[in-house]
Structure 1
Amino acid sequence: MISIVICSADQADLSSVSENIRRTVGIPHEIIAIDNRTARRGICDVYNEGAKRARFDLVCFMHEDIEIRTADWGNVVAGIFGRDPEIGVVGVAGGGYKSLSPSGWYQLEFHSEERSYQNVLQGYKYNEKEEIHAYHNPRNEALSRVVCVDGLWICTRREIALRFPFDGQVLTGFHGYDLDFCLSVFPHYKIMVTYDVLMKHDSEGNFNKQWLDNILKLHRKWSYALPLTTSVMRGNEMYDIEKRSFKILIEQMIRWKYSYLQIQTMLWHSAKTKQMRRKVIFKAFLHLLKLRLHILPIPDGQRI
């Protein structure tokens, strides 16, 4: 049995996904749809309310712009949790490396198979692109262990959702909640991506300045524990990832007109890390300084 929690902003989408769930879930279930059209509460507060209202031992937090294509997916989820009590979170997309450099779960600058594991039919709302089947299962596994999963569909045990509530104090909007939840759970339970549940997601997400503002808040909270990985990193691999990621992030922050002080503050918070040498932060500061002193060209001619 499973409780399905939805933060609803569109009545037509909710009606469609509710019917889709009833046709495909395959086990006794309840849909806890919380109407957020008027109140516009942060998704953390909505999901925490849903977890408290849930009657069943398994809880699925999912977006309403989803169409699940797998029949009896509820049995798939129940089987995963039933076979291994150490599993705490299951998703359909996630990353095996969470960087110290502020980012989402998908680390584009991480040139390795660990950056993503997924099985999603990805639609596009903000870009004029054709739907793609985003499938990445580099080890041909039924389940892949990751650091964090995408928030479009997150399944967990109700006891875990109550023990590690979504942080509505730090994250008051609709971004970063999935990373924060997974980073809370990661030291205690396995976080997995399954390839046995396929769904279409109508939106690729809007990774804009508002999104980054929330990611920066998230990293102020978690930098001490980052980076995290589910694989063995060899030699200077982790250092090289972070050096490249900080450089790209700093240039993006300049393009989005963050001030020198805001970028510097991000780096100071990142220096809290206990997981790697702080030399990488020094290198990032040096890159920022070169941009500010015009030793290096500033992206798009911006000034800081």
Structure 2
Amino acid sequence: MISVIICSANPLDLQLVKENIGETIGAAHEIIAFDNGNAEKGICELYNEGTKQARYDILVFMHEDIEMKTEDWGAKVLEIFAADPNLGLMGVAGGGYKSVVPSSWYNADLEINGGFYCNLIQGFKYSGRESFLDYRNAKNEKLTKVASIDGCWMATRKSIALANPFDQNLLKHFHAYDIDFSLAAGRQYDVAVTYEVLLSHFSEGNFSHDWEGEILKVHKKWGAILPVNADGLDEKTLLRYERRAFKMYFKKQLDKGKTYNELMNICWNARKSRIFKGWKWYKLFVDLWRVVNE
């Protein structure tokens, strides 16, 4: 049995996704939907309310601009969780390496081969591009362990969501909650991407100024455990990649009008990371100081 939790901004989208869930889930379920069209509450607060209200042990948090494609997907979700007691969080897209450099759940600037795992039909509400099946399964697995997942669709256990509530005091809007929850759950449980559930997501990410601010909060909070390296990549090599990606990030932020103090605070937070201990952080500091003062 599954509790599906949705933070809604559009009554029509909500009605359509409710009908779609009912037709495809293939398992006993309830839908807990919150009308948040006025954006009065942040998604973390509403997801926490939904967790408390939920009657069932498996929770699915999902956006409303989604169409589930897999028949009996709910039965498959229950089967996957029953087979793996250490599975704590599951999505349909995720990154095997969560960088120290501020980023989404995957950092393309690191130029790591692989590390991006995905199974969904991606739509483009904002850019108008044609939708396509984004299937990336480099390890040819049914379930791939990752560092963090995309929040468009997330499945977890109610006990985990209660023990690791969404950080509504830190994140008051609609961004970065997925990375934060992934890092919280991942301290004790596996986080993974499944290839046995397919959905269509009608919109791409919106990387706004608010998004950047929330991402920085998450990176400051979890600085001591970053990077999370679920792919087991060589960390000496990653140190070089992270330094290069930091320089690229700083150059982009300077172009956006970030100040010296704002950027050097981001550098200061990186000192907590195990790959930037001692002289390695000092070397990073010098690199980034040069970028800011060019």
Question: Aligning the two structures, in what range does the TM-score lie when normalised by the shorter sequence?
Answer: over 0.9
Listed one character per residue, the Cα deviations across residues 179-200 of structure 1 (whole Å, up to 9, x for unaligned) are 1111111120111110111111
CA distance in 2, matches of 1:167, 1:234: 31
C-alpha displacement of 1:114: 4.1
Where do 5+ consecutive residues of structure 1 fail to align?
A: 295-304
Is 1:223–2:188 an aligned residue pair?
A: no
Over 3 Å counting, the alpha-carbon distance change for 1:171 and 1:278 in structure 2 is: farther
Aligned match of 1:159: 159
Is the Cα–Cα contact under 8 Å of residues 246 and 288 in structure 2 kept in the other structure? Answer: no
User: TM-score of the superposition, structure 1-length normalised?
Assistant: 0.93
Is 1:58–2:58 an aligned residue pair?
A: yes
Over 3 Å counting, the alpha-carbon distance change for 1:280 and 1:249 in structure 2 is: farther
Give the length in aligned residue pairs. 294
CA distance in 2, matches of 1:283, 1:222: 22
Residue type matched to 2:86 in 1? E
CA distance in 2, matches of 1:235, 1:181: 24
Over 3 Å counting, the alpha-carbon distance change for 1:57 and 1:260 in structure 2 is: same
1:204-283 equivalence runs, <5 A: 204-234=204-234, 236-283=236-283
Residue type matched to 2:201 in 1? H
C-alpha displacement of 1:285: 2.8
Q: Which moved more, 1:267-276 or 1:251-260?
A: 267-276
Over 3 Å counting, the alpha-carbon distance change for 1:273 and 1:292 in structure 2 is: closer
User: TM-score of the superposition, structure 2-length normalised?
Assistant: 0.96
Is the Cα–Cα contact under 8 Å of residues 164 and 185 in structure 1 kept in the other structure? Answer: yes
Listed one character per residue, the Cα deviations across residues 212-251 of structure 1 (whole Å, up to 9, x for unaligned) are 1111011110111100111222262211221122111111
Q: Secondary structure of 2:110's partner?
A: coil
CA distance in 2, matches of 1:203, 1:280: 40
RMSD of aligned alpha carbons: 1.4
Over 3 Å counting, the alpha-carbon distance change for 1:235 and 1:161 in structure 2 is: closer
Q: Which moved more, 1:279-288 or 1:198-207?
A: 279-288
Q: Percent sequence identity over matched residues? A: 43
1:1-304 equivalence runs, <5 A: 1-234=1-234, 236-294=236-294
C-alpha displacement of 1:115: 2.3
Where do 5+ consecutive residues of structure 2 fail to align?
A: none
Is the Cα–Cα contact under 8 Å of residues 94 and 150 in structure 1 kept in the other structure? Answer: yes
Residue type matched to 2:291 in 1? L
Aligned match of 1:297: none
